[in-house]
A and B are shown apart, each in its own frame.
Chain A
Amino acid sequence: MIKMQEVYMTYPNGVVALNGVDVTIEQGEFVYIVGHSGAGKSTFTKMLFREEVPTKGSVVVNNTDITTLKWKEVPYFRRNIGVVYQDFRLLPKLTVYENIAFALEVIEESPKNIRKRVMSVLDQVGLKNKARFIPDELSGGEQQRVAIARAMVNHPSLLIADEPTGNLDPETSWEIMRILEEINASGTTILMATHSKEIVNTVKKRVIAMEDGMIVRDEHRGEYGYEV
């Protein structure tokens, strides 16, 4: 599903964010990426939906080599990947319902199917009663659930979450984790960059630890392994 080989990434300003990354992730896995600030976690995830292109090496996702992907093909490639950020990235003027529906309008889903699927994911993240609210009227945890609902609404094979609980209180974080595990149980690969020692040590999954743009540890059912 994901195969990175000898991946190097140097930003235009000269910062080396990835320094030879080799990794394989199978379909259906749940993987944490941990490491100090600036270790390259976000850059790692950005490779996977072609937000950034590696300076060297190959990145293959869903049998697509993103280094040779033409820019016209990028939107279509991204439709099979859901992305969730710490800052939610919701469209501020659209309602909860419209934000989620947007991901389906883009793929020209029929209005009938859009309604059905949006209501179904809203139910799944427990926000059916807030469908008509705009993001500013929601709590952080609720906004994050909308972002997850949007990321999962077209059944992507891969869901990338970059610090999805970064802005949330512990209780809300567990709620988000429960939803992510549920999505994972349906077969979606989940890649989650996090600083939460508690989550990583409690909900045991594969852990990839990064340091200075390199993978320094990769264990199944691993520990967080850093002092917070």
Chain B
Amino acid sequence: MKFSTLKRHFKEGARNTWRNGWMTIASIGAVTTTLILVGVFLVLMLNLNHIANELEDDVQIKALIEVTAEESDVDQLEENINNINGIESIDFSTKEEELENLIDSMGEQGQAWGLYEQDNPLNDVFIVKAEDPLETERIAAEIEEFDFIYRVNYGQEYVDTLFKFNEYARNVGLVLIAALVFTAIFLISNTIKITILARKKEIGIMKLVGATNNFIRWPFFVEGMFLGVLGSVIPIAVILIGYYFLTQNMAILQQFNFVTILDFYPFALQISLIIVGIGASIGVWGSLMSVRKFLKV
């Protein structure tokens, strides 16, 4: 296709978008509503995903060592653990360090634990990370078999539930987004179809002078794209502003909580691109779907 032809299609598509007035506004409204819902879902999903990944990374096995273990026993134990398949890292932490961590993690209240510094009730521990967080359970079981292991902690139920919930949330989110997108495509194709009924005669005339189906389709493609892009303006604004305030307030919340959400930048940029992309796809698909019927002559 020549550049001048492409230019012509864009001009024509823009002109039709403008001329269809209320129908254009109705279509944009349908895209806007959908994209706000899809956008909110995406923000939730991506953040859930982020939190899950962060927690997944945090999943670690704490192997508490018997207080009776000699130094040579501890060395032997480290070697044994290292020999287990699928270990990413193993760190040794003394009971003094453990207590310090505990006090730090509890902030103000933690000061009370300072009383225990003279008579530390904790154990020395090996902190073991699995390469694949899903292997945690197996590795923990193996470690538990070794001598001089007092106990193994990894929050079994908590980890399993987290993984399950994560997967579930992802699937439900995707299904919901797909359903919303299809509804929007349906709405748009029907709205455009109303304007096309009026244009049916015009399409016949175009074919009379030898226009190919693609030639006729192009301006509709452009129009759909415009509808989608225009329809994504408000959703992007709403989500960016909303998310900005959320990150501002999360900063305060985070002082008390170890869970974080994605930083405003570059997340804001990514989500904007995704929303424009989905909007344009919805518009183009809906528009091309509506013109399809009239080209089969």
Give A contacts to B, CB under 8 Å: 49, 72, 75-79, 83, 89-93, 102-103, 105-108, 110-111, 150
Would A75 and B211 count as touching, CB distance under 8 A? yes
Would A78 and B5 count as touching, CB distance under 8 A? no
A91-B206, A106-B209, A106-B215 are known; give 18 further A-B pairs, CB within 8 A.
A75-B207, A75-B210, A75-B212, A75-B213, A76-B210, A76-B212, A79-B210, A83-B208, A83-B209, A89-B205, A91-B202, A93-B19, A103-B210, A105-B5, A106-B211, A108-B2, A110-B2, A111-B4
Q: How far is the CA of A32 from the CA of B208 in the complex (A)?
A: 21
Contact of A78 among B1, B8, B204, B208 (CB under 8 A): B208
Q: How far is the CA of A92 from the CA of B212 in the complex (A)?
A: 20
Closest 5 A/B residue pairs (Cβ): A79-B210, A78-B210, A103-B209, A75-B212, A106-B211
Query: Could you say which residues of chain A place their CB within 8 Å of the CB of B204?
Result: 89
In the complex, what residue of chain B is closest to A77 when comparing beta carbons?
A: B210
In the complex, what residue of chain B is closest to A112 when comparing beta carbons?
A: B4
Would A91 and B19 count as touching, CB distance under 8 A? no
Query: Could you say which residues of chain B place their CB within 8 Å of the CB of A102?
Result: 206, 209, 211
Among A78, A91, A106, A150, chain B packs the most CB atoms within 10 A around the CB of A106
The tally of residues in B whose CB lies under 8 Å from a CB in A reads 18
Could you give, for residues 184-217 of chain B, a 1 whenever the CB lies within 8 Å of some chain A CB and a 0 otherwise? 0000000000000000001011111111110100
Contact of B210 among A72, A90, A106 (CB under 8 A): A106
Would A108 and B19 count as touching, CB distance under 8 A? no
A90/B205 contact (C-beta < 8 A), A105-B5, A111-B4 known:
yes
Query: Could you say which residues of chain A place their CB within 8 Å of the CB of B4?
Result: 108, 110-111
In the complex, what residue of chain B is closest to A79 when comparing beta carbons?
A: B210
In the complex, what residue of chain B is closest to A81 when comparing beta carbons?
A: B210
Would B202 and A108 count as touching, CB distance under 8 A? no
Question: Can you give 9 contacting A-B residue pairs, CB < 8 Å?
Answer: A75-B207, A75-B213, A78-B210, A83-B209, A91-B202, A91-B205, A106-B212, A107-B210, A111-B4
In the complex, what residue of chain A is closest to B16 when comparing beta carbons?
A: A93
